[in-house]
Amino acid sequence: MSLFNWVSLVLVLYLLSPILSLNGSSDIPPRFLNYAKKKELFDWMVGVRRKIHENPELGYEEFETSKLIRAELDKMGVKYKHPLSVTGVVGFIGSGKPPFVALRADMDALAIQEMVEWEYKSKVSGKMHACGHDSHVAMLLGAAKILQDHREELKGTVVLIFQPAEEGGGGAKKMIDEGALENVNAIFGLHVANKLPLGEVASRPGPLLAGSGFFEAVISGKGGHAAIPQHSIDPILAASNVIVSLQHLVSREADPLDSQVVTVAKFQGGGAFNVIPDSVTIGGTFRAFLKESFMQLRQRIEEVVTGQAAVQRCKAVISFLENEKPFFPPTINDKYLHDYFRIVAGDMLGIDKVKDMQPLMGSEDFAFYQEMIPGYFFFLGMQNGTHKQLQSPHSPYFEINEDVLPYGAALHASLATRYLLQSQPEVTLPAENDHDEL
């Protein structure tokens, strides 16, 4: 081999050293977790979380939350785009060049009155962070601090997606439509879990969460005195028959091995004990893991509502509320990213703390990202055995164990950093017999 080729090979090996030593990157997750647990960073994440919790904002109204995020990114020196989808923020850390990997946090609260009595209780009547999105934002900002402080280790660009309106508003879809995934190769997201122990994670490859939709129907009859029902057309009776028939869609029309749900959760009609109303409004949700099953349910719900109402001489007008609450596709985890996640989380927590789980009928608009690029969504445990049992999401008694914050921040940062390392373009070294004679 010529001297020139020897020098070239040494230079290539030097430039490739981060890639060739990728197996040695197993130290990144525990190192980042120790960094996230430092008192200064932990206290800062807690403070951010509590500020957001005190000032909950519903979907597409997260103006103060967005302002707080941008202020913290400014302090870190992190560049970002704003606004996307009204209040959304997309930050960038790293070289600004490929490869690109994204991390996502949702920002919106719920229309629930908080019943937990503590110092940092919601200051807004009828609104509460009852699903942990305040902690999700705090953890992604924590990840941003870790990544920015270790940016010399980033072999590409990390995209930070702070997204509005996950709770039924389909904020993810709007963020995609406005370019949030531009150049992005893969995306990761998480959700806190009240029953999973602190320091454990759970997920699975393939279908994780169901696709979901909503419906609302107004069933109209003819009102009158309850004592002479023959002079009326009773929409309450019609609505009752509709609800019973809707339950048969799953029990008698769906394959028992194809999980589906139809639930009527809203029934409004009448205001007096002795008056048959003119109309009744019902509404609910439907879920399925397969797109074909989901669309079949949609069709049959419409047929059952209108048909059963007609049997009782009523008229029904049904809406699937697609403008207000767009259909969510199933959340389907990429198999390759599942294997990758198990390695990274195992290096941080121990492989015994990385659990496989059964699919859930809940839904997540993270699924919109997964329709566009490979994505992975997982649950992060926060239950501490020495404390009381945490309540489930969407409960007015829902609480966050703030000890979870360093775990989420470090997992986000580790998943992104190692993904960029292993996504470097491969360089083929010269074959053994491909050399010049000395």
Smallest CA-to-CA distance from 409 within 185, 130, 192, 97 is with 192
* In the chain, where the domains are located: 6-209+330-422, 211-319
3-class DSSP state of 42: helix
Consult the annotation and say whether 133 binds a ligand.
Answer: yes
Tell how far CA 363 is from the center of its chain. 8
Tell how far CA 359 is from the center of its chain. 15
3-state helix, strand, coil in the chain (%, to 5): 40, 25, 35
pLDDT of residue 2: 53
Q: Which residues pair with 355 in a beta bridge?
A: 202
Looking at domain 211-319, its CATH class is alpha beta
pLDDT at residue 319 is higher than 80: yes
If one counts every other C-beta atom within 10 angstroms of the C-beta of residue 54, the result is: 15
pTM of the model: 0.89
Consult the annotation and say whether 152 binds a ligand.
Answer: no
* Domain 6-209+330-422 and domain 211-319 have a common topology: no
Q: What are phi and psi of 272, to 5 degrees?
A: -140, 155
Mean pLDDT on 241-260: 96
Q: Which CATH number fits domain 6-209+330-422: 3.20.20.80, 3.40.50.300, 3.30.2010.30, 3.40.630.10?
A: 3.40.630.10
Residue with tokens 């790293």: 94
Mean pLDDT on 145-167: 98
Smallest CA-to-CA distance from 159 within 70, 72, 80, 45 is with 80
Task: Write the DSSP assignment of 306-332 as a string of letters.
Answer: HHHHHHTT-EEEEE--TTTSPPBPPEE
Task: Write the DSSP assignment of 52-77 as a string of letters.
Answer: HHHS---TT--HHHHHHHHHHHHHHT
Question: What is the identity of the amino acid at 83?
Answer: P
User: Which of 178-192, 305-319, 381-395, 408-422 shows the lowest per-residue confidence on average (mean pLDDT)?
Assistant: 381-395
pLDDT of residue 20: 38
Residue with tokens 């199933």: 330
User: Which of 332-336, 370-374, 388-392 shows the lowest per-residue confidence on average (mean pLDDT)?
Assistant: 388-392
pLDDT of residue 401: 97
* Alpha helices (H) in 223-284, listed in sequence order: 235-253
Consult the annotation and say whether 191 binds a ligand.
Answer: yes
Helix (H) or strand (E) holding 334: none
pLDDT at residue 427 is higher than 70: no
Share of the chain above pLDDT 70, in %: 92
pLDDT of residue 25: 86
pLDDT of residue 23: 55
pLDDT confidence bin for 19, thresholds 50/70/90 = very low
pLDDT of 187-243, one tens digit each?
999 999 999 999 999 999 999 999 999 999 999 999 999 999 999 999 999 999 999
Among 50-54, 320-324, 427-431, the range with the most confident prediction by mean pLDDT is 50-54
User: Which of 214-218, 281-285, 431-435 shows the lowest per-residue confidence on average (mean pLDDT)?
Assistant: 431-435
pLDDT of 334-364, one tens digit each?
999 999 999 999 999 999 999 999 999 999 9
Mean pLDDT on 135-153: 98
pLDDT confidence bin for 385, thresholds 50/70/90 = confident
pLDDT of residue 254: 95
Smallest CA-to-CA distance from 54 within 6, 10, 116, 100 is with 116
pLDDT of 22-38, one tens digit each?
456 899 999 999 999 99
- The Cα 41–Cα 21 span in angstroms is 29
What mean pLDDT, rounded, does the chain reach?
Answer: 93
Burial 124-148 (b: 16+ CB within 10 A, else e): eeebbbbbbbbbbbbbbbbbbbbbb
pLDDT at residue 407 is higher than 80: yes
Return the beta strands (E) in 340-389 as ranges.
Answer: 354-356, 375-383
Share of the chain above pLDDT 90, in %: 88
pLDDT of residue 288: 97
Consult the annotation and say whether 131 binds a ligand.
Answer: yes
pLDDT at residue 437 is higher than 50: no
Mean pLDDT on 249-255: 96
pLDDT of residue 388: 80
pLDDT at residue 17 is higher than 60: no
Q: Which residue has the higher pLDDT, 48 or 428?
A: 48
pLDDT at residue 6 is higher than 90: no
pLDDT at residue 14 is higher than 50: no
Mean pLDDT on 161-166: 98
Q: Which residue has the higher pLDDT, 99 or 13?
A: 99
